[in-house]
Amino acid sequence: MSSNVNMASTSRGSTSSSNGLLTVTIAGSSSSHSDDPTTNDSDNDEDELLVDPNDPFDITHTKNAPPESLKRWRQAAFVLNASRRFRYTLDLKKEEEKEQKKSMIRSHAQVIRAALLFRLAGERELVTSSAAVASPSPVGEYAVGLEQLVSMTKNQNISALQQYGGVKGLSNLLKSIPDKGINGDDADLSKRKNAFGTNTYPRKKGRSFWRFLWESWQDLTLIILIIAAVVSLVLGIKTEGLEEGWYDGGSIAFAVFLVIIVTAVSDYRQSLQFQNLNAEKQNIKLEVIRGGRTIQISIFDIVVGDLVPLKIGDQVPADGVVITGHSLAIDESSMTGESKIIHKDQKTPFLMSGCKVADGIGAMLVTGVGINTEWGLLMASISEDTGEETPLQVRLNGVATFIGIVGLTVAVCVLAVLLGRYFSGHSKDLDGKVQFVAGETSISKAVDGVIKIFTIAVTIVVVAVPEGLPLAVTLTLAYSMRKMMADKALVRRLSACETMGSATTICSDKTGTLTLNQMTVVEAFVGRKKLNPPDDLTKLHPEVSSLINEGIAQNTTGNIFVPKDGGEAEVSGSPTEKAILSWAVKPDSAVHIHWKGAAEIVLGKCTQYLDSDGHLKSIEEEKVFFKNAIEDMAAQSLRCVAIAYRSYDLDKIPSNEEELDQWCLPEHELVLLAIVGIKDPCRPGVKDAVKVCTEAGVKVRMVTGDNLQTAKAIALECGILMSTEDAVEPNIIEGKTFRELSEKEREQVAKKITVMGRSSPTDKLLIVQALRTGGEVVAVTGDGTNDAPALHEADIGLSMGIQGTEVAKESSDIIILDDNFASVVKVVRWGRSVYANIQKFIQFQLTVNVAALVINVVAAISSGDVPLNAVQLLWVNLIMDTLGALALATEPPTDNLMHRSPVGRREPLITNVMWRNLIVQALYQVIVLLVLNFGGESILRNNQDSIAHTIQVKNTLIFNAFVFCQIFNEFNARKPEEMNVFRGVTKNRLFMGIVGMTFVLQIIIIEFLGKFTTTVKLDWKLWLASLCIGLVSWPLAIVGKLIPVPKTPLSRYFRRLRKSKSRAPPPCNS
């Protein structure tokens, strides 16, 4: 028995309560990790108290965030290169234009069609006509032409369809058989593609590498540096000649171009990853019938003439006409813009590509594909914008803005001090001569001196403003998304990958997610008789056996029953998932209405039962027996399904199709045939996965349509319930009970619920809303069309790749490709990894920022010169921004991540542990390098070297030691909280490669590129000294980790202090 026989309800009606396109209110409260509700409330209250309403970067949830808040943080961000910084955020202007374009296309589809077809006229001659219906004109091997099919479908011309002989006649013209489809061999498919086109549409090409190169140099500071380099180059050549004069300007220009090229290459690689992931998202798999066989193909492989089965939740893959349909209802809002459900039958048979099946089942004949459909035109006319910001991205823009403002202030101070010292005659060159003497120094020399000072100040801004910080999120997300594909998770929304790291609870389905979805009947009762073995029907009365076989065989969605006497075929199968029924016409003019569904519900509708000998008996006296049998099966984790029927007079059944559609099926006075227990075993590894979640502070809740006893048994087996003592209300609750509570009561009870049985999709939505209102970060799994609202409402919606409908997938944020709960846990690991990697990168980058700024500021103010010049700072910026992000943002997740509590929505990005590590390393670097700066000459001087050479050696040693400090500190940044920072380092080849490459390039810069970087060669002693200075950062990191830090974040102390000051009463005037 297949899984689709298990119905959770027995009433006929639509299962499509929503198309998933509803507007939801996002709860803004913070997450909490404690299981104690009182702790949760107090934490939430405190967090809400500390919320700064004036902070534009305080966006805890970007899913369905209002455009005003998105616009606000963009305007507040301090940005040097907007085209690069906001590349992967949602383009609000384009989004507005896209909506306008969609509206225009919907209302002016013909105009757009004409324009696009004119553009494609070189490839194919296509003429559309809305004139009177012409007779089918043969095209190639087919008796109807492309333009006639397009015209018929576009105009929904029923008279044209009738002229072609109806659906059956059209099938013949297209050489397709209504119940078997097309032949489907390679030659046949090739002919159809040539005659009618492919199911693809012209897509706008992704950005080329040259576009990324162009965007990379749009950075304001880099443009200033290039201008400064050009001026310096001209002045240098003029004063010193071509041979020596080009070095200063040329080296800056070269360093800037190197930064631009490396940045562009890194960005281009990211974009390619996103393109591949987007292609995977669009590649929908669906079933078609070819040669009588049902096969699964890509949506792009659909051809005209294909026979496509449709069921609730599917996307209509191409334009076509309905062949057969049972209460088939289509949601055409994606094309018409109106959320109106349209019922399809032989009178209104036309289907538009891109629409969703809202209800019922059916089959369609494909008549138009690709650019020849309205959907194809729509998709070809709008660009698929993948931009979307994530909460972490927004917060990092806030961090980058703060650091940038500090850096800009420092740069202005340095500029003012250096210019002041220069023009007051306090600046000296390497030989000790005053650089500027009023009335003596030439204008060109003065301008050159000012340009060098200005270049240093601008370069400090380049280093200080961490443009790469928000982009590091995109880098780590792109890397994580690619790796998650291997872990059977396809990310549809970037922010979901990140939010999953903050998830505090997962509301999971049972069937197919926690269990294998491989069902077998292991127990069966017919009347009072228990069958042993359960599939042995030979001991039953022939009439009983016949009725059971008939009920099972006919009561299956999508089947058609053809009587043996050759009479007209009767349609079988219900349009809904709640109940499956069938009419089996009998010679005695009686009809059997078959019901199959949840055992206790069907049992409640029965008044009689058929015993194993074929005798009808009253059920009243035996109801206790049957209820006990159901409970016993449920206690063994079995899904209980009852099979029942009732006889009905043929003449009482509506004769025409419309009345039949509206007919309310009799669902009382049923006769019970059998009760079966179906075993669906737990997936291997689920118990371990649930245990990992529990240890990680993520509560797993089971929300299932099965009865409470079955749900309880599976929950115990999976480890969701720890013991039978826990299996009491409200830990386990029925959906109906939860539904009847008030909103406030639901919020309180939801926190305690572990298992919800007999839940409807509405109950799932209600528990998600209640949990989110209570401050939880909720992930929810779903596979049905009815799950769409809950998937849409949850912080992270997880749809199933195998069992999930297209509507569920489109409403979700992540698709679990193997339907396995263990894969959900892997997504949690990756989500936490994203956050952890960003924190590693922040710690590394801020250490470099603080050290570089302090060294240059102190040196500039005290001596009027800076030890790190423009070219050197650009190299440090490259190590820090692009290469550092590549090395640290691509660290794979570790098991240690799942031993922590979830990251709260308002947790500070820079934790106390990070502040400790950062201060220890930056302080060490500043002290050592300032000692070298002020005492280096006396340490390094010997009688043979000039003062100028000694100063150059000192500055080279400072630069070399500073870079080595960053290389060694990159290892420390890998494990901010662990003593052993080398664990697993060899597994990350990219990290090792980048560190190795940085090391080699540094040697090349010092030994061979001295003219460019204003450095000199170092002897082996000074190389060893540089290495030792860098190496000290490792033991120092271990010592630093022994320093205890308070658990309460520093930012919370400052906020609390600010809040208390703002609330303090004004002083009384006496």
Angstrom CA distances, 356 to 578, 597, 1011, stand at 19, 26, 67
Beta-carbon contacts of residue 770 (< 8 Å; ≥ 6 apart) = 743, 746, 747, 749, 750
- What whole-number distance in Å separates Cα of residue 613 and Cα of residue 544? 7
Residue 542, classified by CB atoms within 10 Å of its CB into exposed (0-12), middle (13-18) or buried (19+), is: exposed
Residue 1027, classified by CB atoms within 10 Å of its CB into exposed (0-12), middle (13-18) or buried (19+), is: middle
Burial 155-171 (b: 16+ CB within 10 A, else e): bebbebbebbeebebbb
End-to-end CA distance of the chain: 88
- Report the relative pairing of strands 350-351 and 778-782 from DSSP bridges: unpaired
- What whole-number distance in Å separates Cα of residue 296 and Cα of residue 259? 48
- What whole-number distance in Å separates Cα of residue 122 and Cα of residue 120? 5
Contact 1036, 971 (CB under 8 A): no
Bridge partners of residue 617, in order along the sequence: 609
Catalytic residue list: 509
Tally of CB atoms within 10 A around 78 = 16
- What whole-number distance in Å separates Cα of residue 479 and Cα of residue 469? 16
Residues across the chain? 1070
Supply φ then ψ for residue 201, to 5 degrees: -140, 155
Beta-carbon contacts of residue 523 (< 8 Å; ≥ 6 apart) = 530, 534, 633, 636, 638, 676, 677
- Report the relative pairing of strands 606-610 and 670-679 from DSSP bridges: parallel
CA 626 to the chain's CA centroid: 47
Residue owning tokens 């290039």: 226
Task: Quote the Cα angle for 912-915-916, to 5°.
Answer: 90
Beta-carbon contacts of residue 747 (< 8 Å; ≥ 6 apart) = 770, 773, 774
Beta-carbon contacts of residue 918 (< 8 Å; ≥ 6 apart) = 843, 846, 847, 850, 910
- Report the relative pairing of strands 505-508 and 699-703 from DSSP bridges: parallel
Residue owning tokens 């690991």: 829
- What whole-number distance in Å separates Cα of residue 712 and Cα of residue 729? 12
